Amino acid sequence: MIPLKASPELVPVGGADTLPRHVAIIMDGNGRWAKARRLPRVAGHRRGVEAVRRIVRKAGEIGLEVLTLYAFSSENWRRPMEEVSDLMGLLRHFIRADLNEIAGAGVRIRVIGDYRAFQDDLVKLIDDAIARTAANTGMTLVIALNYGSHNEIARATRALAERARAGEIDPASITAEAITGELDTADIPPVDLLIRTSGERRLSNFLLWQAAYAELLFTDTLWPDFGEAELVEALDDFSRRERRFGGL
C-alpha cells in the first residue's frame, strides 16, 4: 500500500508527457471519516462532495483527458434507504450548484451505469447536464451512477449475441475490441491509473474490463481528506512506473 504524502508542488513532476490519459477513482471512506468524528454518515458524504470539487478542478487544471468517479454503485442500493436518499440529495445539489462552473471550464460530463433507475427529477437533471456540456472539448468527467462492471459486460455481450442471432454479425467475428465497443465507455480510452482511497484493496466491480492494464494505487487517505496534493502525488507515482503491457 502506498501512503500518499502531501507534496508542496501541485504540478506533477514529469509534466504533461507523463500524465495518464484516464484516471479512475473509487471514492471510499466517507462513512469512516464521519464515524471518527462522531458525526452522522451524511456529514462524511457532504465532505466527500467537497473533495469531488477539489479533484475535478485540479484534474482539469493539470490537463487530464478523462477522470472517472465511482459515485454510486449498483450494490449501494443495499444501504439504508435514508442514506441512499441523502446520497441522491447530494447528487442533486452538486449538479445544481456546480454545473455552471463545470460547464464554464469546458468539462464534458458523461454518465455510465443505469442512472435512469433514479427518480424522474434527478434523471432530468443528469440528462440536462450531459446535454449542456456535450460540445465541450476540455476534460471528460465520467460519473459512474448505479454502475456495476459485471452488469455492463453482460449487457455488452448480450447486445452482440442479439446482433449475431439477427444475422448482422458472424459470431466468429466477436473480439475483445467488439466487446469494448459495446461498453458504456466505448469512446473513452482505457483506464491508465485507478486510485482507491481509505485503505481497502478491492476493485468493487468497477471498470473491470477497462482497467485490465491499469496501474493500481491504494492509499489509506479517506476520501474527504483526499486533496490536490494527494492527486498530484498519485500522478507522480504513476510517472515512475514502467508499463510493459505484457512485453519486455
Is 65 part of a structural domain of the chain? yes
236 is catalytic: no
What are the grid coordinates assigned to 69, written together? Answer: 468517479
Q: Is 41 annotated as a binding residue?
A: yes
Is 6 part of a structural domain of the chain? no
Range of the domain at 113: 20-238
151 is catalytic: no
87-125 residue pLDDT tens: 999 999 999 999 999 999 999 999 999 999 999 999 999
- Using a cut of 0.85, tell me whether the model's pTM lies above it: yes
Mean pLDDT of the chain: 93
Is 30 part of a structural domain of the chain? yes
pLDDT band with cut points at 50, 70 and 90 for residue 8: very low
Is 2 part of a structural domain of the chain? no
139-188 residue pLDDT tens: 999 999 999 999 999 999 999 999 999 999 999 999 999 999 999 999 99
CATH number reported for the structural domain that contains residue 62 in this entry: 3.40.1180.10
Structurally, how many domains does the chain consist of? 1
Is 148 part of a structural domain of the chain? yes
Is 13 part of a structural domain of the chain? no
Q: Is 29 annotated as a binding residue?
A: yes
Is 31 part of a structural domain of the chain? yes
What pLDDT does 96 receive?
96
What pLDDT does 6 receive?
38
Is 123 part of a structural domain of the chain? yes
Q: Is 181 annotated as a binding residue?
A: no
What pLDDT does 3 receive?
38
